[in-house]
Amino acid sequence: MAASKVVAAPRRRDDRTTVPRADAGGGVPPRRRDDRGVAWLFLAPVLVGFAVFYVYPTALGVYYSLTDYGMLSEPNFVGVENYRELVDDDRFWNALKVTGYYVVLNIVSQTVLALALATLMHRLTQSMAMRAMLLVPWLVPNVTVGLLWMWMLDANLGFVNHALRAVGLGTTGFLTSPDWAMPTIAGINTWAYTGYTALLLYAGMLQIPRHLYESASLDGAGEWRMFTRITLPLLRPVLALVLVVSLIGSFQIFDTVAVTIRNAPAGVTRVIYYYIYEQAFTNFRMGYASAIAVVLALLLGVLTVVQMRLLRASRSDLA
């Protein structure tokens, strides 16, 4: 079932180059086909959407980053002025730092937990019901997740503090404490995305041939040994992909912060997405916000290149 689909997946990447070549040769009518009429008809909606809402805005975004633009008057070209200001902008560097802190916390906790969860499922149960339940937090809007945990963690009435008090521990205003706010937000999103990540890793584990575990077991290997010697090495390509995809995803944290930031200490939770939002729509500095967006795009571009590298380097593992 699911496993066979996954097995087919890595091969797909090559199709782009092989299939058109097969067209020119093999089982096609001898005359040269040209479907350009009907093809452009099929493509029309997508190409319109792409040109108007992807290509044009991308160019426009770069242009805005070189202007002073308050949305009320026309953009005024200022060259690299925005970027020069960015270098000296403490809030920008702080936002990068806060985001980096969040990304590290979130990725580490999420990956470790998801790996543990996926392994437990893989070695114990195929239960679809369990998998479905683990997926629920991912299906729910981040706004809901943020509010739900604000309530769970409320300093006076929240369930978590009730529980802490019940076992004799002091209460904490998790989201209002400068030290705890960002780790708490990282924890909330770990809760929201671990199940999803675990299911991705689980799908990867299903690709590992079962007989490897059986023969290892016959040789007297314990579960930990099987995990470190079979699961982890063979999962590496999938793990690398999932890791970098969630890495890039967590750089773009916004919703959870936007909901919980109201009572959070100033600056401590101002992540890069929020800073862009604030500059554009609170301070009406569209040009400056665009410059930050350009920097973020470049940063994510670098991460994507690293991702490609990782994937190619790990391909040989897929025996």
Q: Taking CB under 8 A as the criterion, which residues in 213-252 touch another protein?
A: 213-214, 217, 223, 238, 241-242, 252
Please, which of residues 85-104 interact with another protein by CB under 8 A? none
**DSSP-assigned letters across all residues of 294-313:** HHHHHHHHHHHHHHHHHHHH
| CB proximity list for 40: less than 8 A, separation 6 or greater | 47
Residue type, 122: H
Give the amino acid at 39: A
Distance of closest approach, residue 203 Cβ to another protein, in angstroms: 4
41 binds another protein (CB under 8 A): yes
Q: Which is nearer to another protein, 108 or 132 (CB)?
A: 132
- Please report whether residue 164 would count as binding another protein according to CB under 8 A: no
- Counts for the chain of helices (H) and strands (E), in that order: 15, 2
Q: Decide if residue 108 touches another protein (CB under 8 A).
A: no
Q: Whole-angstrom Cα distance, residue 16 to residue 38? A: 21
Identity of the residue, 58 or 179, whose beta carbon is nearer to another protein in the bound complex: 58
Q: Residue 69's CB: how many other CB atoms inside 10 A?
A: 24
Quick one: which of 86, 164, 297, 306 contacts another protein (CB under 8 A)? Answer: 297
Q: Which residues lie closer than 8 Å to 299 by C-beta, 6 or more apart? A: 251
Q: Which of 85, 94, 177, 191 binds another protein (CB under 8 A)?
A: 191
Q: Minimal distance in Å, beta carbon 204 to another protein? A: 6
Query: Is position 78 an interface residue for another protein (rule: CB under 8 A)?
Result: no
Task: Identify residues 246-285 at the interface with another protein (CB under 8 A).
Answer: 252, 254-255, 258-259, 262, 273, 276-277, 280-281
- Could you give the angle at which helices 181-205 and 90-124 cross, rounded to 10 degrees? 40
